[in-house]
Amino acid sequence: MNPITYIKEVRAELLKVVWPKRQDVVKLTATVIILSAIVGVYLGSLDILFAKTLEILITR
């Protein structure tokens, strides 16, 4: 394929893309950050719980 043709086709495809609005990007980014924090706290809590449980079982 000719490089010039390829670049023209890529440009034509990029013009078809519907880019999200800034407000949508901010809202979705905040959602991802909040959910990541919630999952992090949940998994961290489980890790601490399992570590303490294992510590209790081993020291007996």
Tell me: the pLDDT tens digits for 5-21?
A: 999 999 999 999 999 99
User: Counting Cβ atoms within 10 Å, is residue 7 exposed (0-12), middle (13-18) or buried (19+)?
Assistant: exposed
Say if pTM beats, i.e. exceeds, 0.75. no
Interval 40-51: pLDDT, tens: 999 999 999 999
Q: Please name the residues in contact with 28: beta carbons below 8 A apart, sequence gap of 6 or more.
A: 20
pLDDT at 60: 80
The ranges assigned to domains in the chain are: 19-59
